[in-house]
């Protein structure tokens, strides 16, 4: 079998395990499992565990009903199945013994359900435990070319939908936020996305001043800004971008000014991105523009978050963060201004940190009209 990205990542993880003196990663259905094995499934009550030892080949323990699926999706050859009539905890204990893990240091998936960690503890009473993210987070934070390619394509789908919405223009006036959100979801699918990567945000007028408002029954009016924040999945990777649009009529001077401030802040944030710069410095670059314009108290959240197999992951662009940016990191730059009872403005693009700066994944117009 050729080298898949998942196989390469597993080899990297195994090297890190050996460097740390740890003996195995034990994963369960999660982004970590998908990252290393290619197998993607929701957690359930059934035992589905991957044992990635520091040396040698990984072992997957899966319910029999997943047998074919796991063989199709994963590069791992040692797949053990158990039937519903079997005792899966005995199977776990058998693998622990076979891999000689009792007495070792095991790094378990951060989100593993307690019942499965308890089975591991019972099977390896002399082992010590840590979290898989100790090994995998530093790997996952730097996206490889396969991941970057999927993120670019997901961003292009979101951009295409923004262009569609802009073209609809006055037609949108009178729709409810909910209707607009449904239209967004339909168009994301029509342009090749799979589902939505989070609930579509369509915050019209005063609703836009609540960063977490998703959508409701309010009707969109001419002249008011609508915060549109949405994304979709492409090959397991999400898009996440925001534009604040006025669909018809003239925005007020106050809307124009706030929109311009956010746009300049967003540009300043993107311009600040390069390897070696801290996440906190990017936050500061965007925040300073907003503060200088007198809207400092209206910028209610961090400037951005990492995006990868999860829509929110490391690194977080938060005030004071000393975390240094590295080539291959992907995150959002999304400053906003939220004026209670009036309106909100947010502009968000995803960027990849390159060797000497940033590659912006969203290129669609950032203006409000």
- State which residue, 9 or 346, has the beta carbon closest to Zn ion: 346
Q: What is the C-alpha to C-alpha distance for residues 301 and 209, in angstroms, rounded to an integer?
A: 12
Least gap, CB of 46 to Zn ion (angstroms): 33
- State which residue, 242 or 244, has the beta carbon closest to Zn ion: 242
- State which residue, 283 or 348, has the beta carbon closest to Zn ion: 348
- State which residue, 159 or 240, has the beta carbon closest to Zn ion: 240
Residue pair 235/249 in contact by the 8 Å Cβ criterion? no
- State which residue, 17 or 228, has the beta carbon closest to Zn ion: 228
- State which residue, 13 or 351, has the beta carbon closest to Zn ion: 351
Least gap, CB of 248 to Zn ion (angstroms): 24
Least gap, CB of 76 to Zn ion (angstroms): 33
Which positions touch Zn ion (CB under 5 A)?
A: 229, 240, 242, 332, 348
Contacts 24+ apart (CB under 8 A), 39-42: 39/69, 39/70, 39/73, 39/74, 39/76, 40/73, 40/236, 41/66, 41/69
Beta bridge partner(s), residue 356: none
Least gap, CB of 241 to Zn ion (angstroms): 6
Least gap, CB of 229 to Zn ion (angstroms): 4
- State which residue, 119 or 334, has the beta carbon closest to Zn ion: 334
Q: What is the C-alpha to C-alpha distance for residues 193 and 210, in angstroms, rounded to an integer?
A: 27
- State which residue, 57 or 199, has the beta carbon closest to Zn ion: 199
Least gap, CB of 345 to Zn ion (angstroms): 13
Least gap, CB of 307 to Zn ion (angstroms): 7
Least gap, CB of 219 to Zn ion (angstroms): 23
């Amino acid at each position: 079998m050729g080298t898949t990205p998942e196989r390469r990542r597993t080899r990297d993880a195994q090297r890190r395990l050996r460097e740390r003196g740890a003996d195995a990663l034990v994963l369960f259905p999660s982004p970590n499992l998908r990252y290393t094995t290619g197998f993607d499934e929701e957690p359930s009550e059934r035992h589905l565990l991957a044992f990635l030892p520091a040396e040698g080949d990984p072992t997957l323990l899966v319910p029999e009903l997943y047998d074919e699926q796991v063989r199709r999706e994963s590069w791992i050859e040692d797949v053990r199945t158990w039937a519903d009539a079997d005792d899966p905890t005995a199977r776990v204990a058998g693998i622990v013994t076979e891999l000689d893990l009792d007495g070792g240091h095991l790094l378990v998936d951060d989100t593993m359900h307690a019942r499965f960690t308890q089975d591991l503890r019972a099977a390896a009473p002399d082992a010590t435990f840590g979290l898989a993210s100790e090994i995998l987070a530093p790997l996952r934070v730097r996206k490889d070319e396969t991941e970057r390619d999927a993120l670019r394509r997901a961003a292009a789908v979101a951009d295409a939908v923004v262009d569609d919405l802009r073209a609809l223009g006055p037609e949108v006036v009178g729709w409810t936020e909910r209707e607009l959100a449904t239209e967004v979801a339909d168009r994301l699918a029509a342009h090749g996305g799979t589902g939505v990567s989070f609930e579509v945000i369509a915050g019209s007028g005063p609703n836009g001043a609540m960063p977490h408002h998703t959508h409701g029954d309010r009707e969109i009016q001419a002249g008011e800004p609508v915060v549109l924040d949405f994304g979709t999945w492409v090959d397991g990777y999400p898009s996440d971008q925001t534009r604040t649009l006025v669909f018809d009529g003239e925005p007020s001077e106050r809307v124009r000014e706030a929109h311009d401030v956010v746009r300049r802040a967003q540009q300043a944030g993107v311009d600040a991105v390069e390897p070696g710069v801290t996440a906190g410095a990017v936050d500061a670059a965007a925040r300073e523009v907003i503060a200088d314009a007198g809207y400092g108290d209206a910028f209610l959240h961090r400037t951005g978050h990492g995006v990868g197999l999860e829509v929110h992951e490391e690194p977080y662009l938060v005030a004071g963060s000393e975390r240094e940016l590295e080539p291959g990191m992907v995150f959002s730059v999304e400053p906003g201004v939220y004026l209670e009872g009036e309106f909100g403005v947010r502009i968000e693009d995803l960027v990849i940190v390159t060797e000497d700066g940033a590659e912006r994944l969203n290129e669609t117009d950032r203006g409000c009209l």
